[in-house]
């Protein structure tokens, strides 16, 4: 009678692991899609950063207000309104947009994800999390893959733009850390976008003299807000319940590679041996760092 109990007991754990993996993959794909939309809109000069940020945040708020019912009375233990998380979300979105216009994409990726790693790994270590030898090896491989991806063409960045991208990475790290353990990811993300919308409107008004948004740019910003940001961040908050701060930091190193692969698949960009090598190193390193070994089977 012992074997059936072992099988039944293992099933919920496997289900949780599978659910966490699916949510993580969905979030990372959304982040990569968001990178592509930002590149098309901002690097292509189809819209100014303040307009992109305002439309992005407002679109996310509108979609999440429909699906998340943020103003309905929350059950006990439900998601509260958290101004700190909303402030981190707005700071990330605005600093990222402002920096993206000036920075080379490779430099921007290094600065952004470097700051994310520092903030989230630092928080994990402060809480007593420790990297195993396998996790450390996976992290080093993933970082090496990122360097392989972005190294050609790197040049000294504009100091102001570099500072903005570092602030964006730190803000995103804070936003992710604040999302760990939320009871209702949909409602929490809806609250964050709704609270960030007035701040985005103030930034838009402050930049009124420099606004320049084409219909194409506005559409890209709306898609970024409603789909890859709003719904993508819901998936991320839900996925965070299955991660430590350390593993949540490491998995995000896959985003630049996924975005580059998306550029090949969707934007007609040419695949290269360097991209293949970067993908193998980064995705393999992430898997090595975060995929847990299967527990031993019970002896029958």
Does the residue 3 lie in any domain? no
C-alpha span between 33 and 161 (Å, rounded): 22
Q: Are 49 and 43 in contact (CB under 8 A)?
A: no
134-154 per-position pLDDT tens digit: 999 999 999 999 999 988 766
Looking at residue 300, its pLDDT comes to 44
Question: Could you tell me the residue range of the domain that residue 271 belongs to?
Answer: 17-290
Token pair belonging to 280: 């193998």
Terminal Cα distance for the chain, rounded: 10
Looking at residue 6, its pLDDT comes to 47
As a dihedral over the C-alpha atoms of residue 90, residue 93, residue 94, residue 100, rounded to 10 degrees, the angle is 170
Mean pLDDT confidence for 244-267: 93
Looking at residue 115, its pLDDT comes to 95
C-alpha span between 26 and 182 (Å, rounded): 18
Looking at residue 78, its pLDDT comes to 58
pLDDT higher than 80, residue 54: yes
Range with lowest mean pLDDT among 2-6, 45-49, 85-89, 174-178:
2-6
Does the residue 298 lie in any domain? no
**60 Cβ partners below 8 Å, 6+ apart?**
193, 225, 226, 229, 230, 233
Does the residue 8 lie in any domain? no
238 pLDDT tier (thresholds 50, 70, 90): very high
Does the residue 170 lie in any domain? yes
42 pLDDT tier (thresholds 50, 70, 90): very high
Does the residue 124 lie in any domain? yes
The torsion angles phi and psi of 52, rounded to 5 degrees, stand at -60, -45
181-227 per-position pLDDT tens digit: 898 999 999 999 999 999 999 999 999 999 999 999 999 999 999 99
Mean pLDDT confidence for 237-257: 95
Q: What angle do CA 51, 114, 234 make, to 5 degrees?
A: 55
- Looking at the structure of the chain, the number of domains it has is 1
Does the residue 156 lie in any domain? yes
Does the residue 1 lie in any domain? no
Looking at residue 18, its pLDDT comes to 92
Percent of the chain with pLDDT over 70: 90
Percent of the chain with pLDDT over 90: 72
Does the residue 195 lie in any domain? yes
pLDDT higher than 70, residue 75: no
Instruction: Indicate the pTM of the whole model.
Output: 0.89
Token pair belonging to 15: 């289900």
């Amino acid at each position: 009678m012992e074997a059936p109990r072992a099988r039944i007991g293992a099933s919920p754990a496997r289900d949780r692991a599978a659910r966490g993996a699916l949510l993580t993959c969905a979030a990372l794909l959304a982040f990569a899609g968001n990178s592509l939309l930002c590149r098309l809109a901002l690097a292509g000069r189809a819209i100014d950063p303040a307009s992109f940020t305002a439309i992005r945040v407002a679109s996310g708020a509108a979609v999440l207000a429909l699906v998340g019912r943020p103003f309905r009375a929350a059950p006990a233990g439900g998601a509260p309104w958290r101004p700190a998380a909303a402030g981190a979300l707005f700071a990330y979105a605005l600093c990222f947009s402002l920096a993206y216009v000036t920075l080379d994409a490779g430099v921007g990726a290094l600065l952004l994800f470097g700051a994310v790693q520092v903030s989230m790994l630092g928080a994990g270590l402060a809480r007593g999390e420790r990297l195993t030898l396998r996790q450390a090896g996976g992290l080093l491989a993933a970082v090496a893959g990122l360097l392989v991806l972005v190294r050609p063409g790197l040049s000294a960045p504009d100091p102001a733009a570099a500072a903005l991208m570092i602030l964006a990475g730190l803000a995103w790290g804070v936003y992710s850390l604040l999302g760990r353990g939320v009871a209702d990811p949909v409602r929490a993300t809806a609250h964050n976008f709704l609270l960030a919308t007035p701040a985005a409107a103030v930034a838009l008004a402050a930049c009124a003299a420099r606004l320049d948004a084409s219909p194409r740019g506005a559409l890209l910003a709306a898609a970024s807000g409603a789909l890859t940001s709003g719904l993508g961040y819901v998936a991320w908050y839900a996925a965070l319940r299955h991660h430590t701060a350390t593993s949540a930091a490491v998995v995000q190193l896959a985003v630049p590679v996924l975005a580059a692969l998306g550029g090949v698949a969707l934007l007609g960009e040419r695949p290269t041996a360097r991209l293949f090598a970067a993908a193998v190193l980064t995705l393999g390193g992430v898997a090595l760092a975060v995929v847990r070994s299967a527990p031993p089977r019970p002896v029958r």
